[in-house]
Amino acid sequence: MAQKIKKGDSVQAIAGEDKGNTGKVLQVLPESGCALVEGLNFVKKHIRKTQDNPQGGVIEKEAPIHLSNLKKVN
């Protein structure tokens, strides 16, 4: 039976580059079947110069992970 993963749960990655690492769910995206997990699946995003961010540059942020690659941790 599938586990219901919701915001605030502790989860562990069971597949992919972050296999074995744990984190806390920040947001669940039910329409795509994915979740944002704190500290897992980092991607680099290039930011252009703006008034809010005069330096621009590259930042790292979490990307969604499919729910089938996560399991709940007690």
Tell me what pLDDT residue 44 has: 97
Going by DSSP bridges, is the β-strand pair 42-47/34-37 parallel, antiparallel, or unpaired? unpaired
Q: What is the mean pLDDT of each run of 10 residues along the chain (74 residues)?
A: 84 95 96 95 95 93 95 92
Please give the model's pTM, rounded to 2 decimal places. Answer: 0.82
CB 64 within 8 A of CB 29: yes
Tell me what pLDDT residue 2 has: 61
CB 17 within 8 A of CB 37: no
Domain residue limits, the chain? 10-72
Tell me what pLDDT residue 1 has: 45
Give the domain 10-72 fold: SH3 type barrels. (2.30.30)
Query: Can you tell me the distance from the alpha carbon of 56 to that of 43, in angstroms, rounded to the nearest whole number?
Result: 16
